[in-house]
Amino acid sequence: MWNEPSVERLSRIPKFYETEDIEVKEKLIYLHFFIGGCDWYVAEFDGDDTFFGYAILNQDYQNAEWGYFSFEELKTLRVGGSEVDCELERFWQPRKAKDVPEIWRKA
């Protein structure tokens, strides 16, 4: 994985269910992973291996959805020799889901 997030950066992400009372569009998105036409946006983390967030696979916005995905699996994905990348902190600061156009493209 390119630019794997640091332990410190991961520690800032709320644990599972800590944001369940926050309306989806108001949830903060802490990380953005991507490769090719796939994007994963992280809102919660179990502190071990599983994220909760929004996934768009192969630019399929119609079937994109909120759900759980594995950090370890993201680390092993390869497309044409390229690895999954995590957007650097200087480019990706936590922002509300409503401020991420890719998440609301389906709507």
Answer yes or no: are the C-beta atoms of 53 and 29 closer than 8 Å.
Answer: yes
Q: Is 78 or 67 the better-scoring residue by pLDDT?
A: 67
Number of other CB atoms surrounding residue 86 within 10 Å: 21
Nearest to 102 by CA among 19, 39, 46: 39
pLDDT class of 107 with cuts at 50, 70, 90: low
What pLDDT, on the 0 to 100 scale, is given for residue 79?
Answer: 85
Dist. CA 23–CA 38, nearest whole Å? 24
Instruction: Dump pLDDT digits (tens) for 14-46.
Output: 999 999 999 999 999 999 999 989 999 999 999
Pairing of strands 28-29, 95-96: antiparallel
Q: How much is the mean pLDDT over the chain?
A: 94
Instruction: For Cα atoms 72, 91, 102, give the angle at the middle one, nearest 5 degrees.
Output: 70
